[in-house]
Amino acid sequence: MFYLPSVHWAVLNRSIGMDINKIVQTLRQLEHINPDTRDKVTKYLIKHIDRSLSYTKEIRKGACARFKQRMADCGCFCGKRYGNFMITIYIVTKMLYVGDAVVQLYMMNHFLGTDYIFYGVDVLRDLSSTGTYLASKRFPRVTLCDFLVRSMAKNHPYTVQCTLPVNLFNEKIFIFIWFWLVLLVLMNLMSLTYWLWIAFTTNRRSYIKTYLRVANKYSKKVDHMKLNAFSNKYLRQDGHFMLRMIGKNTNDVMVSELITALWDAFSREYDRSHQKQEV
């Protein structure tokens, strides 16, 4: 079951035309190849990302299109044209991981026929109060065994106390599974919260501005409006998500090179369009 969200992400990610997994793998390999090949591959990746971002930009004009775009920025609409398709399917994938772990907890509860959802809590409570945990009803360590002793005259039934050492191992296995599933739920909830914050907060421009300032590519007096257009109309949510994902899986140098290269490509088009408007 844990593989299903991964399949969901892999299939939909490829349909976008900008496979983040392959981009990250390629960027990781750039550190181990010669400089000439590295420059060629980097230029190809930048052109590929630029084409993908340009292809999915909104071409419709008017108040209705602007309203839909604002609603899409709040998560009310989803699509490639709205620039939030990639981040949306990633957030849905995170939700699937959380739901998967929760469903498996309920399945274990149904399988054991006990309150397995709070099984680990009971174990911790027993450990804190008595220094050991009590035997579970589903994993008895001692039971009564009935057996017959056959003789020439008749069979003699006996009932004796038996130990079940295998349940010691079974109990520990299910305790480990409980804590593992709960840990997965918590970690995926934290990751989901982080990416929701990335998707819907307004600090995206600050993230881009930091790298541009380090590269001496940004001047507040000259480039303020250009930065807004670069962030909101060119990169949008999917572009920011891609850069954040690359940053988490590679290093700041790679992200800086990508951002500055995309900024240069956008600036040329931005300046050209404004010159035409002035004419």
Residue 218: φ, ψ to 5° = -125, 135
- Rounded Cα distance between 190 and 185, Å, is 9
Average pLDDT, consecutive stretches of 10 residues, N- to C-terminus, the chain (279 residues): 80 75 83 79 84 68 56 59 80 91 84 70 74 70 82 79 82 84 91 85 80 80 79 84 87 86 86 64
The pTM of the full predicted model, rounded to 2 decimals, is 0.77
**Amino acid 13: pLDDT:** 76
**Which residues fall within 8 angstroms of residue 56, CB to CB, at 6 or more apart?**
16, 80, 81, 83, 85, 238
CA-CA distance, 87 to 80, in Å (whole number)? 10
pLDDT for residue 79: 62
- Helix and strand numbers (H, E) in the chain are 11, 2
CA distance 170 to 146: 23
pLDDT computed for residue 17 by the predictor = 67
For residue 80, the SS3 value is coil
Distance CA 4, CA 243 (A): 25
DSSP one-letter code for 235: I
Per-residue pLDDT, 248: 87
Packing angle between helix 85-112 and helix 236-249, nearest 10 degrees?
60
Closest CA to 168 of 137, 141, 130, 138: 141
Domain boundaries, the chain: 20-51+202-279
Residue 190: what pLDDT? Answer: 93
Angle, helices 252-278/35-55, rounded to nearest 10 degrees: 50
The alpha carbon of 160 is separated from its chain's Cα centroid by a whole number of angstroms, namely: 54
DSSP helix/strand/coil, 64: helix
| C-alpha–C-alpha distance, residues 181 and 82, integer Å | 35
Rounded-to-integer distance, Cα 143 and Cα 162, Å: 5
Which helix or strand (DSSP H or E) is residue 156 part of? Answer: strand 155-163
Instruction: Give me the residues paired with residue 149 across strands.
Output: 156
